[in-house]
Amino acid sequence: MPTFWWRALALGALLGLSGGAPAAAQGTVRRHLVYFRDKAGTPYQVGQPAAFLSARAVARRQRQGIAVTARDLPVSPAYLAQVRAVAGAQVVFASRWLNAVLVACDSAVLARVQALPAVRQAQTLGRGPRPAAPPAAPAPARTAQQTYAVGTRADYGKTFAQDQLIGAVAMHDAGYRGEGMQIAIFDAGFPGANAVAPLQPLFAQQRVLGTRNFVDGGRAVYVRNSHGTNCLSLMGGEQTGVFMGTAPHASYHLCITEDAGSEKPVEEANWLAAAEYADSVGVDVISSSLGYTAFDAPFPPHTYADLDGRTAIGSQAAAMAARVGMLVVSAAGNEGTQAWRYVSVPADADSIISVGAVDSLRRHAAFSSYGPTADGRIKPTLSAMGVASAVVTATGALVRGNGTSYACPELAGLAAGLWQAHPRLSAQQIIEALTRTASQATAPDNVLGYGIPDFAAADAYAAALVPPVPLGPPPARLQLYPNPTRTGELRLVLPLDWQNRPLDVRIVDARGAVVRRQALAPAGAPEVVLSAGSLAKGTYLCEVSSGGQKQTVRFVQQ
């Protein structure tokens, strides 16, 4: 791991995958991605997605006109049972999108797994079983490079320059701080995130909705490497006069996919697993400050030819996440001054935002990776401040650091706020609004991409876009999600004949008392956002009345 890994794991954890992984020595347990031939015999159906996707995930697709397809169906349970029945085969996770399963075993066991009739092929990715978690890394050192302008707006503290650069201050002034949006962060660990002062509102308001550790297993994420804590602070931090992230009122899912102590290709598979988790729970935005190009022997590195958005597993995963309607934001990489100067995986994927770095004077950071991709697409997509960025460490200290790792979450929070402002648009339309109004929109290049975004300009552009036609007929009755909820932010899915009516919404507790009431103007849309506020844990009724009619939906506040 390079000395300056914290500047961005797009530099420090450089991994990769290529088609011909070396064979594992017999007796050595490694992880292998085992692909199945089909999904025959599956009990799941594309017409009944509620069996394997949350209501929020289904609604995200419907709003954007994205159909549930066979790719979304879980792996056949019968095939999984066959693999588990092979003595010595440990199933780590199954992938819906690749119709595959990650298995930890030695080469002798792998041979028996490959002999199963349902298996098409296998690819060796790295050692297993799960490694022991190393101690958390030390907090980032202060950078000696001081090409930043000190902010003057008191409530933003040290973050004013980086937030102002991309228009996040104007976005907050307009009332958009990520309310109702869900963001998943893929990183190497989040030690101290649940204790440091700038992140306390996330936990006090129960806006960390899920945690997953795809390296060690389980849900413990306040461990390992503090890089994730730094990146979370850039979006979710909020301490008036000290620190302000770009999406301080969003809700978050924290996922460890990266083992910062090694460079193994299995981490791309971990990224895939995290993306499928994010999809299933209904996440809107993925922020990933990770990148893969080279990794430990005996595995060969990626080649430039691999940067076509289709070859690497990580890039396939990012593209598939975009296909199901999530907005994927990925650090471009910190290889600008290295022999490999190009973006890393999965920043080469299409239909995502790959983020380069600039300083507060809008100058390209020398370390920020360049495009184009191997198939000639412009990369990075956009750029944000990644030189002397203010971040929060695992101990709660505020320091400045460099890296596209920091530009990435800064911009991801902006994208979440823009989508909050225009919830009827698709993820791809949000990307369009950001790129078409950025500083180099008319002359994009492979240094800054389309340039530095600006919320006000993107907001105006987005307002003129025509939302996609929602997929399928509106529901016959009112629907509400997420349910259960932790944040008090609820979305009400309306039947067609309710979409142009004024609504009277009442939240009723178990005793029958009205605890919240909200009058809504005609939405003219299939969904409206409700603000239930801070509710005690328990079961509630959401009563919606209009034109002499009333429908009631039960929900749980966790």
Quick one: pLDDT at residue 488?
67
Mark 86-99 as b/e (b = at least 16 C-beta within 10 Å): beebbbbbbbbbbb
DSSP state letter for 492:
E
Distance between first and last Cα of the chain: 40
DSSP code for 285: E
pLDDT for 127: 60
User: What confidence score (pLDDT) does residue 152 get?
Assistant: 60
**Rounded distance, CA 32 to CA 24, Å?**
9
CATH number of 154-463: 3.40.50.200
Q: Where are the domains of the chain?
A: 30-127, 154-463, 479-557
Q: Rounded to whole angstroms, what are the CA distances from 64 to 137, 428, 525? A: 41, 9, 13
pLDDT of residue 8: 38
Which residues, other chains included, contact 56 with Cβ-Cβ below 8 Å and sequence gap of 6+?
A: 182, 281, 282, 481, 482, 491
pLDDT under 50: residue ranges of the chain = 1-25, 130-151
Distance separating alpha carbons of residues 452 and 506, to the nearest angstrom: 43
pLDDT in tens, 139-191: 333 333 334 444 468 889 999 999 999 999 999 999 999 999 999 999 999 99
Helices 404-421, 427-436: inter-axial angle, 10-degree rounding: 110
Distant-in-sequence, close-in-space partners of 62: CB < 8 Å, separation ≥ 6: 470, 471, 472, 526
Can you read off the two tokens belonging to residue 341? 């100067």
Identical topology for domains 154-463 and 479-557: no
Class of the CATH domain delimited by 479-557? mainly beta
Phi first, then psi: give them for residue 226, nearest 5 degrees.
Answer: -80, 5
Burial class (CB in 10 A: 0-12, 13-18, 19+), 114: middle
DSSP 199-227: GHHHHHTT-EEEEEETTTSSS--SSB-TH
User: What phi, psi does 245 have (nearest 5°)?
Assistant: -75, 170
Q: Would you state the pLDDT for residue 494?
A: 85
pLDDT at 487: 67
Could you read off the pLDDT of 300-349 as tens digits, one per residue?
A: 999 999 999 999 999 999 999 999 999 999 999 999 999 999 999 999 99
Mean pLDDT, the chain, integer: 89
Q: Where are the beta strands (DSSP E) in 117-226?
A: 119-127, 182-187, 208-213
Question: How large a percentage of the chain has pLDDT more than 70?
Answer: 90
Give the neighbor-by-neighbor strand order of the sheet with 251-256.
208-213, 251-256, 182-187, 285-288, 327-331, 353-358, 382-385
